[in-house]
Structure 1
């Protein structure tokens, strides 16, 4: 009887563990969600910088150069975000995690590029270029707070796991 109870417990534990692993695979931890959003922000700012680099010329600044400096200032944070997402891809069994990360970045860039295509360049740049100037002034903590904020219009690929 005791043996049956132990086997029953072990079997139940295995099912619970398998279900928990599947549930964790279906959602992001808050850190993973922040990492994906950070990569999205970085990708979007690149597109904005490239398309609107002329916007600051009267003030002696090139927005793409400003974006590049922003990237250099936060390179360690962006590298960490990439490590987090690559780790998640590996955990999920993605065969080519680096390629999947590149695809993710490209999809983020393509999304904002569609906005570029729908608007006149001057309208797009007047709407989006200020993001580069704002981002350039951010400290790591500010950027992390921005990346950790999930907006309805910019959801992450997976829901955030409930605690």
Structure 2
């Protein structure tokens, strides 16, 4: 489970009041709310697998219909290997040699028919332009032994740009 998805899912529980990353990004703290105060429900390790600490006293603030699902969500996350918790980096692939008067040409995948072409860098509902290295390989981009593409510049994409 990706960290981003874990945090979103935990925040979707009605009993959860907040989720914080603490100690320089080593832990996630999950808070639950009662009528009078907030309480730490659990701390989950980010940099090591299988790290979890719960406060059983705060369990009473979690409705029965949410308790087992919240614990299962936490358990699923802590079972995920650390290296699999972050989504792989995505890139724009700009062709090194094939530009034109309209500008640079980028790898485009057309979802509706599965074709690949060179065009601008804008993604939309029918065109994908952000790819992981593995996705680019599946589309025919060739790489050297250092995972550098032969005919493309890889431009990192931040978030959901």
Normalised by the length of structure 2, the TM-score is 0.22
Higher helix fraction (1 or 2): 1
Instruction: Report 1 or 2 for greater relative contact order, CA contacts < 8 Å, sequence distance ≥ 6.
Output: 1
